[in-house]
Structure 1
Amino acid sequence: MTGKILAERYELQRQLGKQTGRQTLLARDLETQELVVIKQLFLGSDFEWQDLKLFEREAETLKTLSHPAIPRYLDYLEIDEPNSKGFALVQTYVGGKTLEEHLRAGRTFSENDVKELAKSLLEILIYLHQCNPPVIHRDIKPSNILLDNRSGHTVGQVYLVDFGSVQNQAAKFGGTITVVGTYGYMAPEQFGGRAVPASDLYGLGATLIYLVTGLHPTELSQQDFRIKFADRTTLLNPNLIDWLEWMTEPSLSKRLSSAGEALRTLKNPRPIDKSIMPVQPLGSEIELTKNSEFIEIVIPPKGAGFGLISLFTAAVAGSLALWMKNDYDLLPLSWLLIVGFFLVACGVMFLFALFRELHLVIDRQQISYSSHLLGLKWPYARSTRRQDISYVEIEEVEYSRDYMQQKKFTVVGANVQGGDLKYQLGAKQGLSESEIEWLATELSQWLGLKFQITQT
């Protein structure tokens, strides 16, 4: 193939891609000495007229487009060779790698990278959707997005390629329905043969979800046809998670309707219900640290309450009373051991109350819960893998009934369920109800899990 001349002008360099009945080639234009991309469609045994219709539509669409982030139309050829008959579309060559290739090479994308990519692609979609008539790509996915010229802290130049599934919105549907797109990135309405500008937003949202989770949309669970991804990433803040959920809303009427609106809401997120915004209660001494890598909660010592002070006082007084008999004879050794053990136990309880801190840490790998006392550290509960965390709950316990026979509940803990273990931050650790509710909200938002309320 290398060195072959097509149409007496294009010298073939190498194959870029191949599918049944078609291939994509890199070539050099001998007139301009520029590299070009040639897409070929062959008239073989597996040829379908619908393929030719889409191929010609791509060529006609590229003729009308002029955007620096979209390949430019150069030529359209008929191939009539002894062993090869078909058509060829020639367009400008765009360097760089696809997002798919970057991911397979191990590249990761930060929250800023994701936002930068989203803004660049939305600006391309604004251009396409504002054409007259609007141009809908219909197949936005990682393998159709190229990145080139990465420098410094920028994500690189972004290109949108492969308009082989494009639809001119002025096109009318006939007696057949054409389903075009890639499963996992197709909006639900595309399965019925319908595509609108918001359909491209769904594909973009699903693509960005793939970037932040490393998982194809089909590998993620769904609930009511919504992609559940928030629990698979710790990279994103709640506003960006909310925006991606809005972009991939299965209901067309509830999804962001235009690329312009999507860009505005990306820059200026819609407010999240203040009733679920985490606010640390006044006077709380809990220390909470969080970023994209981990969340850490440090619960300070509870302090010696009235009950513990009373117990310790009673223990000391009782020990002194038993220490001497009325005639000040010493107690037997067994009594001395019992009294000594009791005093040591009370002393340890005092130490724990006055100096022990509890640390709950969740990072990308695991959740750990440990006690820290006077420089010593030991597990408060067994560690669990991060991916085994299934939900966050606020636990309420029934404590009384009033004269109307209505149940009353008190909040006793914010629980994180990890595998077969439950990690509790609650009344036993000296937390107030408002602190418990605040921590449950912080944990659920950082983990991307909506917390539930259980009553026992």
Structure 2
Amino acid sequence: MTSKILAERYEVQRQLGKQTGRQTLLARDLQTQKLVVIKQLFLGSDFEWQDLKLFEREAETLKSLSYPAIPRYLDYLEIDEPDTKGFALVQTYVEGKTLEEHLRSGRTFSESEVKELANSLLKILIYLHEQNPPVIHRDIKPSNILLHSRSGHSVGQVYLVDFGSVQNQVAKFGGTITVVGTYGYMAPEQFGGRSLPASDLYGLGATLIYLVTGLHPTELPQQDLRIQFADRVTHLNSNLIHWLEWMTAPSLDQRLSSAGEAWHSLKNPRPIEQTLMELQPPGSDIKLTKTSEFIEIVIPPAGVGFGLVALLSAAIAANSPSFVTVFNFQKDDGASTNLPAIAPQLIIILSGSFLAAVGVMFLFALFRELRIRIDRQQISYSSHLLGLRWNHSRPASRQDICQLEIKQIAYKVSQLIIQAGNQKYRLGEEQKLSESEIDWLGRELSQWLDLKINITWKDG
């Protein structure tokens, strides 16, 4: 059987892939005797000019790039044969299997291998995003990542392929919106036709989540567009889990913004257990702890104020011996009578109860801590006093948290409200929190929950 030869130079070996109007071939360059990859776009009934635009952009992009982990541009052909018309892009051939193929064959990746992959791919993205204009791949996923020469505990050489969805800073200023990418790996902004370097980070993060869970991102649950995967990878270091959550934050404001920043954060994890004192208002004694698993706010005892001291003084005076006496009354005829015998007992009981109540208030003021804790399962609001704990309200599901609100009650007096279903958890004047503390806690909760803060007035 005679092999097909394209442009009198490329001898076709076999087909590597096929889609509607496209095919990818493995061929041998008869001039160099090296294997090459040929991507073909056909001019058929289903041809669209947008396809040609992306095809030509891929060719121009590869032509301008020179990086060991990216296939190199070799040639661009126009195909004009009796039964075939179209265009062809010729690039270097990389021998290896895609991550998708590895995963389908049942291969698993250790934590160190995942980090090695992330490190290699981030270096490729750093190179792409530092081009002028920046090159944005837009379709990072397991089937577009090749592994070559794996040995021992190393994943081997990592390649990023298929630049058919590539965009650069110049190209994005067109008059039409093109949504390009693969569902599950596309950042939310890509659905609106907007792509940034951070969009590639999302695709990389989603790819690595596939590796550590063995599940396609679309098979994992989502909460407010955030991929929920941490409960399936408890064997991983919490720093890596937190980093992957950071990479795939649906909001651009919450996501890592550059490949360089992502690479540095992978190498030097930021502390995930932190009290964040540098962000805390001066003079505040609130303890805030954030990890990838939970956020907890601990409000210390309020302390004893002048009003409470005055109440205590009154309670002590009411219980002094001189306060409880038997009163004599004179009748009109000069005879004397005593106050009913039960009256002094009532006075003693009431004054004693008053002193006990004030004593409890003193204990609360000196030793009671208030805690709001949100983890992956629930939100709870509780008091802690001398080893005792009780809830102020019934815990609610984490999935039910739907709104963060800062309500301005009066001048420089505000309240932070966390709404979970029908329940509302309130922090503010009752806990003697300042307006700056409310704002600070609101920002931290907004970041951790990835919820926007609503600002309202009391009458609103």
What SS class does the counterpart of residue 119 from structure 2 fall into?
Answer: helix
User: 2:245 — aligned with what?
Assistant: 245
Equivalents in 1 of 2:48, 2:2: separation in Å? 29
Q: CA deviation at 1:273?
A: 2.8
User: 1:162 — aligned with what?
Assistant: 162
Higher-Rg structure is: 2
User: 1:119 — aligned with what?
Assistant: 119
Question: Where in structure 2 are the equivalents of 1:408-419 lying within 5 Å?
Answer: 409-410=389-390
Instruction: Assess, with a 3 A threshold, how the Cα gap between structure 1 residues 83 and 201 changes in structure 2: closer, same or farther.
Output: same
Q: CA deviation at 1:391?
A: 4.2
Equivalents in 2 of 1:45, 1:410: separation in Å? 71
1:345-370 residue CA offsets vs partner (Å, 9 max, x unmatched): xxxxxxxxxxxxxxxxxxxxxxxxxx
Q: CA deviation at 1:172?
A: 4.1
Instruction: Assess, with a 3 A threshold, how the Cα gap between structure 1 residues 6 and 255 changes in structure 2: closer, same or farther.
Output: same
User: 1:64 — aligned with what?
Assistant: 64
Instruction: Assess, with a 3 A threshold, how the Cα gap between structure 1 residues 391 and 82 changes in structure 2: closer, same or farther.
Output: same
User: 2:10 — aligned with what?
Assistant: 10
What SS class does the counterpart of residue 115 from structure 1 fall into?
Answer: helix
Please give the TM-score of this superposition, normalised by the length of structure 1: 0.62
Which letter maps to 2:7?
Answer: A
User: 1:132 — aligned with what?
Assistant: 132
Equivalents in 2 of 1:248, 1:263: separation in Å? 15
Moved more, 178-187 or 226-235: 226-235
Please list every run of 5 or more consecutive structure 2 residues that lacks an aligned counterpart in the other structure. Answer: 275-288, 293-375, 398-448, 450-460
Q: CA deviation at 1:253?
A: 1.4
Moved more, 86-95 or 224-233: 224-233
Q: CA deviation at 1:168?
A: 1.1
Which letter maps to 1:251?
Answer: S
Equivalents in 2 of 1:398, 1:173: separation in Å? 58
Superposed CA RMSD: 2.5
Q: CA deviation at 1:271?
A: 1.1
Which letter maps to 1:64?
Answer: S
Please give the TM-score of this superposition, normalised by the length of structure 2: 0.61
Contact 1:2/1:12 (8 A) holds in 2: no
Instruction: Assess, with a 3 A threshold, how the Cα gap between structure 1 residues 393 and 71 changes in structure 2: closer, same or farther.
Output: same
Question: Where in structure 2 are the equivalents of 1:185-224 lying within 5 Å?
Answer: 185-224=185-224
Equivalents in 2 of 1:277, 1:191: separation in Å? 30
> Does residue 1:258 correspond to 2:233, yes or no?
no
What SS class does the counterpart of residue 171 from structure 2 fall into?
Answer: coil
Equivalents in 2 of 1:50, 1:151: separation in Å? 42
Contact 1:212/1:235 (8 A) holds in 2: no
Question: Where in structure 2 are the equivalents of 1:13-412 lying within 5 Å?
Answer: 13-274=13-274, 275=289, 391=377, 409-410=389-390
Q: CA deviation at 1:170?
A: 1.7
Q: CA deviation at 1:29?
A: 0.2
Equivalents in 1 of 2:152, 2:22: separation in Å? 38
Q: CA deviation at 1:399?
A: 11
What SS class does the counterpart of residue 114 from structure 2 fall into?
Answer: helix
Equivalents in 2 of 1:255, 1:398: separation in Å? 36
Which letter maps to 1:137?
Answer: H
1:204-223 residue CA offsets vs partner (Å, 9 max, x unmatched): 00000000011111111001
Equivalents in 2 of 1:171, 1:18: separation in Å? 27
User: 2:314 — aligned with what?
Assistant: none
Contact 1:43/1:85 (8 A) holds in 2: yes
- Over the matched positions of the two proteins, sequence identity in percent amounts to 80
Which letter maps to 1:409?
Answer: R
User: 2:369 — aligned with what?
Assistant: none
1:159-183 residue CA offsets vs partner (Å, 9 max, x unmatched): 0000000001122433321000001
Equivalents in 2 of 1:2, 1:89: separation in Å? 23
Instruction: Assess, with a 3 A threshold, how the Cα gap between structure 1 residues 202 and 78 changes in structure 2: closer, same or farther.
Output: same
1:15-73 residue CA offsets vs partner (Å, 9 max, x unmatched): 00011100000000000000000000000000000000000000000000000000000
Equivalents in 1 of 2:233, 2:60: separation in Å? 41
What SS class does the counterpart of residue 179 from structure 1 fall into?
Answer: coil
Q: CA deviation at 1:14?
A: 0.5
